[in-house]
Chain A
Amino acid sequence: MKRRPSSQPEIPLTSTSDVAFLLLIFFLVAASTGTDRGRKLDLPSTEKTTEPIKEATNLEITVGAETLKAGETELADIDELKAVVRDHLADRTEPSERVVMVNTAEEVTYQRWSDVFVAIETSGGIPVPQIEEGESGPSQE
């Protein structure tokens, strides 16, 4: 009488691809969340302001698409802006004294505006955008 061949023990691998897919999708989802990072933007609130901003003594920056001015002085670049802000705020300790007004031309890109804001913040200033009340903005079709 012939002997039956003994069956080899095997690990079932049928669902391996399912498991691999699940892991792949899990990591994709996990990677796409919680990656947002950035910076806070403090806008002055008309209701909360107790101390008026002393516009006459505060530094005023004018940002154009290609130009940059501190008061009436033309600045070469962002590094010069940092130096001017640092000089201006050297002996100012009160938050209201550290406010830097920022006037921005309509054609300025967000990247440039952001560079100016970060430069003022990192030089110790509190940048405040000059946004006209009731500004209608461009029409959107």
Chain B
Amino acid sequence: MKAPRAKKASATIPLCSTADIAFLLLIFFIVLAKGTREGSIDWKPAKTEAQMTMPRDPALTVIIDAFDQVHLDGVPVALNEVRFQAADVLEHRAGKVPGRRPQVLMKIHKESKAAIFQKVMGDLGELDVELFRVMEQEQPKPRTPGT
């Protein structure tokens, strides 16, 4: 009598967590891409106690970092090229709303000097844009009685 052969176990690669891994990689690269553009730029916002608003769908972000370097959407540009480069970026920006000025976000390091930021503001002011200064909310100082 022939003895029944034991069934061979088929070797398979477990694919249950492939989707999880794919998602993790996707999110990792999204975070990394964001980091290389703006997250790594060293700047500290000016503080204010005044009421602030949220920007609406900005078309361009201008950063003046702690080393007085100007960045347009995370890309460093020379100070005397800000106007032309910004105009070029805004010209080719998708999703323009007719009749509405594009909004430009300005993130200026709090220790930056007027010689730099006023030049950038002047250049951006020449373009038909709405400027929005990003700042940090400061809690109002408690007033002592009698002041």
Contact = CB atoms under 8 A, between A and B. Distances in A.
Given A110-B46, A131-B121, A37 B114 contact: no
B121 A111 contact: no
A66 to B, nearest CB: 14
A41 B114 contact: no
B135 A37 contact: yes
Interface of B: 16-17, 20-21, 23-24, 27-28, 30-31, 34, 39, 45-50, 52-55, 64, 68-69, 78-80, 105-119, 121-122, 125, 128, 130-135, 137
A20 B17 CA distance: 13
Contact of B52 (A26, A39, A41, A42): A39
Given A45-B128, A131-B125, A38 B116 contact: no
Contacts of B119: 131, 135-137
A38 B135 contact: yes
A34 B128 CA distance: 25
Nearest to A25: B27
Contacts of B28: 25
B68 A140 contact: yes
A97 interface: no
B50 A109 contact: no
Interface centre among B48, B53, B128 (most CB of A within 10 A): B48
Contact of A26 (B27, B45, B49, B131): B27
